[in-house]
Amino acid sequence: MSCRCSVPAGLPFAMSQTPNPPSETGARTQPETVTADEQFPHGKVVEIRPLENQGERHPVVALCASAGGLEALERFFQYMPPDSGLAFVVVMHLDPDGKDMLPDVLARFTPMPVQRAEDGLKVKPNHVYCIPPDRDMSILHGTLLLLPPTQPRGRRMPIDYFLQSLAKDSRERAVCIIFSGAGSDGTIGLKMVMENFGMVMVQEPDSAAFDSMPRSALNTEFVDQVLLPEQMPAVLLDYVRRPLLAARPEPEDPDSTTRPAHALQKIFMLIRNKTGHDFSFYKRNTVFRRIERRMNSHQIKEFTHYVRYLQENPQEVEQLFKELLIGVTKFFRDQEAYDSLKQHLVPLLQRKPADSTIRVWAPGCSTGEEAYSLVMVLQECLDQVAPNKYLKIQLFATDINQEGVDFARNGLYSENIAGDVSAERLQRFFTKADASYQIRKEVRDVVVFAVHNLNKDAPFTKLDLLVCRNLLIYLSSELQRNLIPVFHYALNPNGLLFLGPSENLTGFQELFTPLDIKWKISQRNNVPYSLARIVNFPFTLARQAAAATTSASMHTPARKDSTFALMVQKLLLGTYAPPSVVINVKGEILYVNGRTGKYLEPAPGMSGMNVLEMAREELRFEISGAVHRATQQRQDVVVEAAKLRTDRGHELVRLTVKYLPQPEALAGLLLVVFEDVPTPRRRPRAGKTDVLRDNAVEALERELQYTKQRLQNTIEEMESSLEELKSTNEELQSANEELQSTNEEAMTNKEEMQSLNEELMTLNMQYLSKTEELSQAANDMKNLLDATGIATIFLDNDMVVKRFTASVGRIIPLQPTDVGRPITHFASKLRYENLEPDVRRVLDRLVPTHANIQTTTGEWYDMHILPYRTLDNYINGAVITFTDITALKELERRTQQSTAMAESVVQAVREPLVVLDAELRVVSLSQAFADMFGIDSAQGRGQLLADLGDGAWKDGRLTDQLQELARTQQAFDNLDVKAEFPRLGRQLLRFYGRSIQLDGHPSSHLLLGISEMPAAQ
């Protein structure tokens, strides 16, 4: 097993004889040097430099243990110096009703102060804190917080609970150590520590008293070191003192091939050649940290040396590939986010027609927890909004990690998921299997898992919900800008996009409407967007014409769809007669009505048909402001008396911008209408001075009014300028769309077929997996039926043989080639003529029947005929089973012979005798016995011996002796019993007993006789 040790970038650890790393503010600190002269088992003296001067940025070590953990903690603290500069938090499974003695016990192992954690206690270096019983503990800004447990006893996971908060609070300063313990607590938490670039150590399982927790941690493959407890302190101290790779200065030569940037590209190339996946679009900081973890595990300090190591060791490329795939997930991550999603899913599901399919895509599904969480949420929403209409769920869960996809497809998770999944959901959607939970088959069948590269493969389309949480944060900003339009393309109108809390839609706000800003739930706007605007995106969909949406693209200068033109003309004739244009929110003209040359003119240069560019100078700012207000307020805006300079002088124009909410084809567009307003008559001319003064005042008033409007427009435009500037680069690419307009429809069909082909390939892989499962189930069923030895025949509703077991050949000579022939075509060895009528009666009445049948060879069978019911309670034939009861029949025959022989013997002798069965019931009695005690022979048969003669035979010694005879077959003589008999009075009788044998073998019958009757005592 390989051990890895990482040094995350940015960790504020001090080191002897190395430059001090900069703090977050950029200033360098000068920590005090303290030497601890303590000899460690590895034979070296470790110099410890505590971190008191670095504020609260000291490492926090979580010591996690359960059963058998005290011994491991003792061995750990014996080798840990008291002035290491580390803070230790011990998290164990404690009895909630027992006395808390953990701090007193640990105090004997270490000279460091040991105390029970308290609510609001600040964590300090060189201190040990212990979790109290019956409390969940978390950490926030270095302060311990205690909470009452929310899970019932037996399902609590205090280690996972604390590690998840520690990972978020301390990040790269977090250290997780898993010691001995039972169960799997800590498995989810250590993944969170690893995700935040912390360190994970695990006790060697063979040295643990209980190895369940260590082995469960090792199965995650997120463990840096596997050591004995006494070895951990030295490795931990060496880890915190190790120099940071990120702090090394780069070579001065800018063209040097040893620079990390060049080496990183070579690493990407090696990974792509080995796995086919390109990580060059991932964020560099994240990639650097993952690579540093692998370099530190091999004690490699130079990137160029690590590139050489990758070339010489192909298996290391695989390990690095797994390291870069951050597979940290859990069920219902951010429960509040899923609660908010349910609220927004309800209206979406209510609008879905009956018998339709809800299509969902979850890229980056990792090991499947998020995908199954979505299925549970969707099913609960369907129960709420559509109990009487059928809606099918189809969820595509994809990832580039084949191992993760295979794990998710099996749906088998450890029992510690009980901390994230409610008891109701566990009961409804899971099946308990030993120490794990299995997703029910009906839930697994809803999800289609497949290997899919979001970077180069075509997306799934026509989606109602797309969930991509905590994936974009690991991708570069360029790839994020390319993916958001793809998500918009893949979703149906009004479909939902669910992102992670740290992800956003910067630059594409026009494509989505935020529904929940905190949890990043957005609704797709019905705004067309051309995928041709995506640059440098690998898959074909982005390189070719504006596939599915450009037929209605917001950037297309004109529409040639006659239906669209008719709708526009109908709307104009019903509302306005003046000249007008239909534009989108960007101002691009989609349709022109009437003569607009008076108000618009072609703009100089290579500009397009944009109303803001074509408007005459006097109207440009009024149109811009009105369009902006109409778009923001989604209502009509009217600008009265806008001045327009013409050849005849100044004229007034009424400018109206109407927002179009319907019909659906025009929704979101704007109608700009130009109306001439009569110019008011001028007053009679006054003197020349008055005229000049009036003209000047009028000009100043116009300029003031114009300035006010410009100022208002500027303020409004400045409010949205930040978002518009972010999309300027994308808008520059729209010039290419005119050249692609003739090929749009063909490209749309091609891309849709490509997407459908991807889905078919995915479904084919799923069906192949299901076929393998069915083959395995068929093999198991065949071996099970053969192992039972019960002859079984499966018939359909026409009594045609579908399947049979090998044991049937002893009764009916069937061969494998006889499948498909009616059962009535075969002769059997049964002495039974009603087999066919019985089968037809079962098929007609659905009532099982059975009978004991003998064959011509003397064998006996118990025949059962039952209807064949499918899982959905559909009758699809009958099942005939033959159980061999020859031995039972032989035993029955021998019993009858024994009874008849005993009866004949008893009736032949003149002595008082009685024959009993194993339960001491009277089988037969002689006439002498009946006459002696006044018992009716017919009525006495079948009664217990103790009930004869009004209880006169209730003698303990006699009963015990008879029971001993039945058990051991040992005869007895001269048993004297004194009792009060109804006819004889009180008498002393002497009995003897024998076991009746048949054909030399003991039977179950006993013979009780009276040898003599002494005189009454």
> Where would I find the H helices in 727-743?
728-731, 737-740
Residue 313 phi, psi (nearest 5): -130, 90
DSSP state of 84: S
Which residues contact residue 483 at a Cβ distance below 8 angstroms, ignoring those fewer than 6 apart? 454, 468, 472, 475
3-state secondary structure of 140: strand
CA–CA distance, 374 with 445 (Å, rounded to integer): 14
Angle at 920 between CA 992 and CA 946, to 5 degrees: 90
Which H/E stretch holds residue 771? helix 744-788
- CB–CB of 556/742 below 8 Å? no
3-state secondary structure of 578: coil
Which H/E stretch holds residue 146? strand 143-147
Q: What is the largest CA-CA distance in the chain?
A: 171
> What distances in angstroms separate CA 624 from CA 586, 597, 655, 710, one per listed residue?
10, 18, 11, 10
Which residues contact residue 24 at a Cβ distance below 8 angstroms, ignoring those fewer than 6 apart? none
| Amino acid symbol at 640 | E
- CB–CB of 362/375 below 8 Å? no
Which H/E stretch holds residue 232? helix 232-241
3-state secondary structure of 88: strand
CA–CA distance, 58 with 23 (Å, rounded to integer): 12
Q: What six digits make up the tokens of 921? A: 């019931």
Bridge partners, 136 (sequence order): 147
> What burial class does residue 138 get, using C-beta atoms within 10 Å of its C-beta: 0-12 exposed, 13-18 middle, 19+ buried?
middle
Beginning with the edge strand found earlier in the chain, give each strand of the sheet holding 199-203 in spatial order. 114-116, 128-130, 87-92, 60-65, 174-178, 199-203, 225-227
Could you tell me which of 812, 779, 784 has the C-alpha nearest to residue 880? 812
Q: How far is CA 257 from the centre of its chain?
A: 44
CA–CA distance, 645 with 620 (Å, rounded to integer): 13
CA–CA distance, 640 with 677 (Å, rounded to integer): 9
Bridge partners, 61 (sequence order): 88, 175
Could you tell me which of 419, 378, 400 has the C-alpha nearest to residue 471? 400
CA–CA distance, 435 with 920 (Å, rounded to integer): 51
> Where would I find the H helices in 833-982?
835-845, 886-908, 927-933, 937-940, 956-968
CA–CA distance, 272 with 265 (Å, rounded to integer): 10
Which H/E stretch holds residue 342? helix 335-351
- CB–CB of 589/609 below 8 Å? yes
Which residues contact residue 683 at a Cβ distance below 8 angstroms, ignoring those fewer than 6 apart? none
Strand pairing report for 174-178 and 199-203: parallel
> What burial class does residue 283 get, using C-beta atoms within 10 Å of its C-beta: 0-12 exposed, 13-18 middle, 19+ buried?
middle
Q: How far is CA 24 from the centre of its chain?
A: 37
Could you tell me which of 131, 178, 176 has the C-alpha nearest to residue 158? 131
3-state secondary structure of 620: helix
What is the set of active-site residues? 66, 93, 185
Strand pairing report for 985-998 and 972-981: antiparallel
